[in-house]
Chains A and B, each alone.
Chain A
């Protein structure tokens, strides 16, 4: 998550957010040369200070803080999940490599939580705090044994990661006003995709799970996840991009509908993402 969605949500309560962030007008000009430094700088801090410059002196941060707190809620959802998953992993039979992977992903999600908390605090807001008790990782029973069955645990992880990758897309247009933020968001987005690929590989490689999935999404196949997760995959079956039909034979190499869909990941709207995560929140 989810700089894309944060800014898009802020836009709903403050239609002038891009004016505030626009480097050619006021606030953002203080970040001249910012983009070059960003790779070596903490994006959380950079983003936080950017919003702070945009809003700290406006005196009406309440709505903005609400948006950020909503984003923070979603980050907690993921972060708390991986915390519990790491703890439960040895007991449900995850090997050392799997435990290492879950720990790595947990750390990334925790960084996102810290980032949003810092940002909210810098706006004189009060960040929400959630614990595991606030979330229902069984998703109203759809994943009843989420932390006692390794297969279910990885299924939920896949649901979160594939959703995360898709949630980022399509929001890029909301960030073009700032090259620095757009690039940072892309850099985070590809890390989410790496997570997604690895979780899918884990589901495939554990003999007792042996999920029929690849690291990429085939058509709208949910890879053995419960039917309730189908909205995570609907729309992925696209085989035409910008009017180009990807199903083709290219010099003897046959690109099937499956391959055509795998070669492109598709975006989800924010409402679609909300519908997906709502069952996980108490």
Chain B
């Protein structure tokens, strides 16, 4: 340290020591990243806190699999929502346009595909249970209510993937998951644009984010919203009966 000609303020040094980012450096430098991921995937993680429990809370778990469970939870929510929209007895009167019905049916199919993908990709031993949606605040017979909820879910989904990409480990399975998340997020963004256009044509990449008060969905730097899991879950929780516990997720 004595030879360090560019002294680092003590405060910064302490911060760096406490920085969870070092988790990733550690894995990288020890080459353990892949091994750890593989263990989690093989279901050898004996931490059972991601299993369903009877108290009505669901713990997403830890590491890459925790992030996958997080995505799985959101996709469950979206799939359940659009399934209910399309199956509702008033669907064809709420949405008299055949084109709009076909759009919503497409989106339902995509969200179901996403949900089923995560369900198949996450080992059963680590996978969260089926969640129970709470759509009591949604009027499924009202076009505006359905579209406003859809806008919230889609923008929130984009923000969630945008914010979670960096939480995967840097190598091995973590990279694979990042690529897959990237394949999904642009489809969510296409959904978000279309839903916004259904509400007001031309709002595909502008206007209120609807998920952060006072913020535009695309800011003056051309950036979409990115949110950390705790912020996303705070906004999604009212739509889910179980309490989602995300305390085990990586934070950086």
From 111 to 162 in chain B, residues with beta carbon under 8 angstroms from any chain A beta carbon are: 112-117, 120-121, 158, 161-162
Query: Is B223 touching A250 in the complex (CB atoms < 8 A)?
Result: no
With a cutoff of 8 Å between Cβ atoms, the chain B residues found around residue A195 in the complex are 193, 204-205
Query: Is B226 touching A183 in the complex (CB atoms < 8 A)?
Result: yes
With a cutoff of 8 Å between Cβ atoms, the chain A residues found around residue B201 in the complex are 97
> From A266, which residue of chain B is reached at the shortest CB distance?
B183
From 202 to 245 in chain A, residues with beta carbon under 8 angstroms from any chain B beta carbon are: 214-216, 241-242, 244
6 A-B pairs besides A97-B202, A215-B103, A241-B183 with CB distance below 8 A are A39-B223, A101-B204, A179-B21, A197-B193, A214-B106, A250-B115
Query: Is A198 touching B205 in the complex (CB atoms < 8 A)?
Result: yes
> From A99, which residue of chain B is reached at the shortest CB distance?
B202
- What 1/0 flags go to B1-35 for Cβ under 8 Å of A? 00000000000100110000100010000000000
What's the Cα separation between A255 and B79 when bound, in Å?
13
Query: Is A191 touching B221 in the complex (CB atoms < 8 A)?
Result: no
With a cutoff of 8 Å between Cβ atoms, the chain A residues found around residue B199 in the complex are none
- 8 residue pairs, one from A and one from B, having the closest CB atoms: A193-B189, A197-B193, A193-B186, A197-B190, A179-B166, A194-B193, A198-B204, A259-B109
- Report which of B15, B110, B165, B184 forms a contact with A182, defined as CB distance below 8 A: B165
Does A80 have its Cβ within 8 Å of any Cβ on chain B?
no
Query: Is B109 touching A215 in the complex (CB atoms < 8 A)?
Result: no
Shortest Cβ distance from residue A268 to the other chain B in the assembled complex, whole angstroms:
12
Does A48 have its Cβ within 8 Å of any Cβ on chain B?
no
Does A264 have its Cβ within 8 Å of any Cβ on chain B?
yes
Query: Is B117 touching A244 in the complex (CB atoms < 8 A)?
Result: yes
Does A100 have its Cβ within 8 Å of any Cβ on chain B?
yes
Does B92 have its Cβ within 8 Å of any Cβ on chain A?
no
Given contacts A198-B204, A265-B186, contact A44 B224 (CB under 8 A): no
- Tally B residues with Cβ within 8 Å of A: 60
Does A139 have its Cβ within 8 Å of any Cβ on chain B?
no
Shortest Cβ distance from residue A177 to the other chain B in the assembled complex, whole angstroms:
7
With a cutoff of 8 Å between Cβ atoms, the chain B residues found around residue A39 in the complex are 219, 223, 226
Query: Is A260 touching B165 in the complex (CB atoms < 8 A)?
Result: no
Instruction: Select the residue from A24, A32, A43, A187 with max chain B CB neighbours within 10 A.
Output: A187
Shortest Cβ distance from residue A98 to the other chain B in the assembled complex, whole angstroms:
8
Shortest Cβ distance from residue B139 to the other chain A in the assembled complex, whole angstroms:
23
Does A189 have its Cβ within 8 Å of any Cβ on chain B?
yes
Given contacts A169-B179, A253-B109, contact A194 B190 (CB under 8 A): yes
From 165 to 192 in chain A, residues with beta carbon under 8 angstroms from any chain B beta carbon are: 165, 168-170, 172-173, 176-177, 179, 182-184, 186-192
What's the Cα separation between A101 and B25 when bound, in Å?
43
Given contacts A173-B179, A193-B193, contact A43 B221 (CB under 8 A): yes
B contact patch SS: helix
A contact patch SS: helix
Does A132 have its Cβ within 8 Å of any Cβ on chain B?
no
- Tally A residues with Cβ within 8 Å of B: 65
With a cutoff of 8 Å between Cβ atoms, the chain B residues found around residue A78 in the complex are none
24 A-B pairs within 8 Å (CB atoms) are namely: A32-B12, A33-B15, A39-B219, A108-B205, A169-B182, A170-B182, A182-B165, A183-B166, A187-B223, A187-B226, A189-B185, A190-B161, A195-B204, A197-B190, A198-B197, A198-B205, A201-B204, A215-B193, A216-B106, A242-B176, A253-B83, A259-B106, A263-B113, A263-B117
Does A196 have its Cβ within 8 Å of any Cβ on chain B?
yes
- Measuring CB to CB, which residues of chain A are less than 8 angstroms from any residue of chain B? 23-24, 29, 32-33, 35, 39, 41-44, 97, 100-101, 104-105, 108, 111-112, 165, 168-170, 172-173, 176-177, 179, 182-184, 186-198, 201, 214-216, 241-242, 244, 246, 248, 250, 253, 255-256, 259-260, 262-267
Does B88 have its Cβ within 8 Å of any Cβ on chain A?
no
What's the Cα separation between A175 and B16 when bound, in Å?
21
Shortest Cβ distance from residue B223 to the other chain A in the assembled complex, whole angstroms:
4
Does B187 have its Cβ within 8 Å of any Cβ on chain A?
yes
Query: Is B205 touching A104 in the complex (CB atoms < 8 A)?
Result: yes
Shortest Cβ distance from residue B71 to the other chain A in the assembled complex, whole angstroms:
13
What's the Cα separation between A35 and B15 when bound, in Å?
14
> From B22, which residue of chain A is reached at the shortest CB distance?
A24
Query: Is A250 touching B116 in the complex (CB atoms < 8 A)?
Result: yes
- Report which of A108, A215, A242, A260 forms a contact with B180, defined as CB distance below 8 A: A242
